[in-house]
């Protein structure tokens, strides 16, 4: 997901997407440990997606604190 696509989501949708990304990362790590993961770059991509979502979540928190 691109940052502009993430910013369109409301807080509950963002939380749901973030939870799904964490579950996906867990599953990828599990597949890596059992030698079933073919593309190791998937883990990096999911980590970046989580970082983007966490950053936008934090931006929203900071904006709400200023008000």
What is the number of domains present in the chain? 1
Q: Can you give the pLDDT at residue 1?
A: 81
Q: Can you give the pLDDT at residue 67?
A: 77
For 22, other C-beta atoms within 10 Å of its C-beta total 13
The CATH number of the domain holding residue 58 is 1.10.287.310
For 27, other C-beta atoms within 10 Å of its C-beta total 13
pLDDT tens across the length of the chain (67 residues): 899 999 999 999 999 999 999 999 999 999 999 999 999 999 999 999 999 999 999 999 999 998 7
Cα 7-61-57 angle, rounded to 5 deg: 40
37 contacts 28 by C-beta, under 8 angstroms:
yes
53 contacts 6 by C-beta, under 8 angstroms:
yes
Helix (H, G, I), strand (E, B) or coil at 20: helix
């Amino acid at each position: 997901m691109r940052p502009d696509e993430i910013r369109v989501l409301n807080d509950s949708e963002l939380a749901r997407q973030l939870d799904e990304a964490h579950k996906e990362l867990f599953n990828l790590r599990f597949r890596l440990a059992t030698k079933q993961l073919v593309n190791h770059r998937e883990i990096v991509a999911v980590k970046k997606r989580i970082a983007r979502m966490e950053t936008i979540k934090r931006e929203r928190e900071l904006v709400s604190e200023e008000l």
